[in-house]
Copies of this chain bind each other. A is one copy, B any other.
Amino acid sequence: MTTTDTRQRILEAAHDLVFERGFTGTTVDAILGATGASKGAFFHHFPTKGALGKALIDRYALLDAEVLETHMARAEEQSDDPAEQLIAFLKSFEDDIDAGELTQPGCLFASYVYEQIPEEADSDAVILRAIALWRERTLEKLEQAAAIRPLAHPVDLPSLADQVWTVFEGGFVLARATKDQTKLRDQLAQLRVYLTLLFGLD
């Protein structure tokens, strides 16, 4: 039972609860109930509930970046062509969904964006950074791809890079509303077709 053990368990339980009911809708007592931790334990590790909120997105941003890099690396193994890598990148997520991973669809960033999280959580900067990271990584591929082959239609590449994040976010909402994860997969597949057409692949 190391120092960080209880803290970690609180973080994980809180993540699940916040994912379901939102940050404001999640009480400290509910987190304690889910972990078996005591009030003293909670406020020993987090000075306020807002501090937990901050720790939660920091953690989530880390996992998010990890997921991004994992799938990007997987895609880079499949092809040397940057356009095909992007396609493979999306396909990699689709395969994961089909394989039953990514159990609960949704995004903590979106959840935070739609709520008023306490100031101290200072979530804006973290979310903005995460969005920027996705844009950078995909834009990089897009620019390489556009340098190799002509685009079938002129587009603003930064916006196109953001489209990846956008379709994920929109797909999450759709999947959550319909309680059907395959909806997210299908939305990613549409984006894949768009890229295919734009880069004249097939």
CB of A143, distance to nearest CB on chain B (Å): 16
How many copies make up the complex?
Answer: 2
Do A166 and B170 touch (CB < 8 A)?
yes
CB of A61, distance to nearest CB on chain B (Å): 13
A109 contact set on B, CB distance < 8 A: 173, 177
Query: Which of A113, A153, A168: most chain B Cβ within 10 A?
Result: A113
Range of interface residues on A (Cβ < 8 Å): 35 or more
What are 24 A-B contacts with C-beta separation under 8 Å? A21-B24, A21-B116, A22-B22, A22-B25, A22-B116, A106-B114, A109-B173, A111-B114, A153-B193, A159-B186, A159-B189, A160-B190, A162-B174, A162-B183, A162-B186, A163-B187, A165-B170, A166-B167, A166-B173, A166-B187, A169-B169, A169-B170, A193-B198, A194-B197
Given contacts A22-B114, A24-B25, A159-B187, 11 further A-B contacts (CB under 8 A): A21-B115, A110-B173, A127-B177, A153-B197, A155-B193, A159-B189, A162-B174, A163-B187, A169-B174, A170-B170, A173-B173
